[in-house]
Amino acid sequence: TTVKNTCLQIDAVCNQNITFDEIRTKTQQAAAFLFNKGIKHGDVVSICSANNIDYCWQILAVLNTGASCALISSSSTPRELKHSINITKPKAIIGKHFSDEQLKVLEEAEFVKYIWLENVPLAFTKCESSSCLLQELEEHETLSQWTGLCPAEGNDTAFILSSSGTTGLPKGVLLSHNNLITMLSHSGIFMRHNGTAIGLMPFCHAYGLGLMLMALYEGTKMVVLPKFSLKTFINVIESFKVSHLHIVPSLLTNLAKNHEVNSKTLSTIQEVFTGAGAILTKHQRAFISKLSATAKIYHSYGMTESTFVVLFAECRFDKPGSAGKLLPGVTAKVISEDGEELKEQLGELCLKGNLIMKGYLNNPEATSEAIDQYRWLHTGDLAYFDSDGYFYIVDRIKEMIKYQGHQISPTELELVLLTHPAVSEVAVVGVPHEEYGEVPKAFVVSNNCESVTAEELSQLVKNELSHYKQLRGGVSFVTTLPTSPTGKILRKHL
Q: What is the pLDDT of residues 237-253, one digit of tens each?
A: 999 999 999 998 878 88
Q: Tell me, what's the pLDDT at 166? A: 41
Cα–Cα distances in angstroms (integers) from residue 421 to residues 121, 208, 441, in the given order: 36, 39, 19
CATH of the domain at 438: 3.30.300.30
Count of other CB atoms within 10 angstroms of residue 113: 15
Greater pLDDT, 190 or 403: 190
Taking the C-alpha atoms of residue 380 and residue 356, their distance in angstroms, rounded to an integer, is: 14
Q: Is the pLDDT of residue 8 over 80?
A: yes
Greater pLDDT, 387 or 138: 387
Domain membership flag for residue 445: yes
Q: Tell me, what's the pLDDT at 140? A: 42
Percent with pLDDT over 70 in the chain = 93
Final residue before a domain boundary, out of 152, 187, 207? 152
Please state the domain count of the chain: 2
Count of other CB atoms within 10 angstroms of residue 224: 27
Domain membership flag for residue 304: no
Greater pLDDT, 147 or 431: 431
pTM: 0.83
Using alpha carbons only, give the angle 309, 310, 315 rounded to the nearest 5 degrees. Answer: 80
Q: Is the pLDDT of residue 113 over 80?
A: yes
Which of 118-127, 163-172, 344-353 has the least mean pLDDT?
Answer: 163-172
Q: Tell me, what's the pLDDT at 290? A: 94
pLDDT tens digits along 252-307: 887 887 888 999 999 999 999 998 666 777 788 889 999 999 999 999 999 999 99
Q: Tell me, what's the pLDDT at 146? A: 59
Greater pLDDT, 214 or 382: 214
Domain membership flag for residue 370: no
Q: Is the pLDDT of residue 2 over 80?
A: no
Q: Is the pLDDT of residue 141 over 60?
A: no
Domain membership flag for residue 289: no
Average pLDDT value for residue range 453-479: 94
Distance separating the N- and C-terminal Cα atoms of the chain: 62
* CB-based contact 20:26 (threshold 8 Å): no
* CB-based contact 93:115 (threshold 8 Å): yes
Q: Which residues of 365-396 are buried (b: 16+ CB within 10 A; e: fewer)?
A: ebbeebbeeeebbbbbbbbbbeeeebbbbeeb
Give the domain extent around 473.
Answer: 400-493
Q: Which residues contact 131 (CB under 8 A, 6 or more apart)?
A: none
Domain membership flag for residue 375: no
Count of other CB atoms within 10 angstroms of residue 339: 12
Domain membership flag for residue 281: no
